[in-house]
Structure 1
Amino acid sequence: MMKIVVFGTTALFLTASSIASAQNSQTSASTSPDRLNAADRNNLTDMRIDLIKAALQLTPEQEKLWPSVESAIRARAEDRKARVAKIQETVGRRADESRVDAMRNRDPIAFLQRRSEALAQRSADLDKLAEAWQPLYKTLNPEQRQRMAALAIFVLHDMSDVVERRRAQLEDED
């Protein structure tokens, strides 16, 4: 069973990296090469959902509980896309300002309010995701729970790698 998880995860990341590479070659000078277009993001979400579902190998009874989990995953992805778009809009408005003007025009209170709203949205999304997973998780056998834990650890490890790369990029820019 672990072979399925490893194979699926490998396939997901190979596919995701090819999507990212294709996107990089198509990006214009005005966009960051790390950004995927909407279709690529949707494909990546679809692949992640398929990976989770394949790794869990749901029974017919468990399949009945899956749609709410998938909906919560998709809703969370859409909300994240909206948050990123809002950040890009804010950054885009400030792109024309010089560094001195940007520093002079900073509003720390507005920043804190935007950050608070974003964190509240993320919190609400995670609550909805946990709520959607709970009935299904109760029906998982120990082997399915083990595969789910392995996927979660792998995803968290991958997320920490992304955070470290972003942090390194920011340090390089400074």
Structure 2
Amino acid sequence: MMIKKLALATTAVLIAASPLANAAETSSSTVGMTHPSAADLKSLTDARVAMIKAALQLTSDQEKYWPALEDAMRTRAKNRQARFERVAELRDSGPMEALHERNPVELMQRRAEALSQRAADLKKVADAWEPLYKTLSDDQKKRMAFVTVVTARGIRDTIERRMETEDDDE
């Protein structure tokens, strides 16, 4: 029964997210891959957070760990959106123009800062998961693994579709 509920919740999230992923793939852009809007990413984040929480079926004792984890996941998503927006600004002028107009050392420094931010965000998520993960039952850990695999598969499929779309455009 638990697996059926989880499968239903996962299916619902993937169905809800697929139009958003498709919109991101087909939105107009003259150069490179486009990204979902801030509203789309917020919806995807809301769905991902809800799916994880539903899959875990936290006990009342475990609930106290959830707010820190949810905050870390949302902060990571918000920072990811900010990075997407900065990259989109660079793409607007085209890749060659962006390189000619910019100092390559500054580009490397900004890239290093972005990687540092991503690392800090991931560390915050891992740190927030740690106390909750220690309290999870074996069944909760299995559900967490299932949700992780389904989410990763969905992300991978979306990336592959985007890459195919870009190849078709060239």
SS of equivalent residue, structure 1 residue 91: helix
Mapping 1:46-125, distance limit 5 Å: 46-92=46-92, 94-95=93-94, 107-125=103-121
SS of equivalent residue, structure 2 residue 162: helix
Partner residue in 2 for 1:36: 36
Partner residue in 2 for 1:15: 16
Counterpart of 1:161 in structure 2: which amino acid?
D
Q: Does 1:136 align with 2:132?
A: yes
Cα drift, residue 104 of structure 1: 5.1
Q: Per the alignment, do residues 85 and 173 of structure 1 end up closer, same or farther by CA in structure 2, a change over 3 Å counting?
A: same
Q: Distance in 1 between matches of 2:16 and 2:33?
A: 17
Checking the alignment, whether the CA contact within 8 Å between 2:52 and 2:144 is kept in structure 1 is yes
**Aligned-residue identity in percent:** 43
Q: Per the alignment, do residues 130 and 102 of structure 1 end up closer, same or farther by CA in structure 2, a change over 3 Å counting?
A: closer
Aligned length: 169
Cα RMSD (Å) = 3.0
Counterpart of 2:145 in structure 1: which amino acid?
A
Q: Distance in 1 between matches of 2:123 and 2:61?
A: 24
- Which sections of structure 2, spanning at least 5 residues, go unmatched? none
Partner residue in 2 for 1:6: 7
Checking the alignment, whether the CA contact within 8 Å between 1:55 and 1:147 is kept in structure 2 is yes
SS of equivalent residue, structure 1 residue 36: coil
Q: Per the alignment, do residues 113 and 167 of structure 1 end up closer, same or farther by CA in structure 2, a change over 3 Å counting?
A: farther
- Please give the TM-score of this superposition, normalised by the length of structure 1: 0.81
- Which sections of structure 1, spanning at least 5 residues, go unmatched? none
- Please give the TM-score of this superposition, normalised by the length of structure 2: 0.82
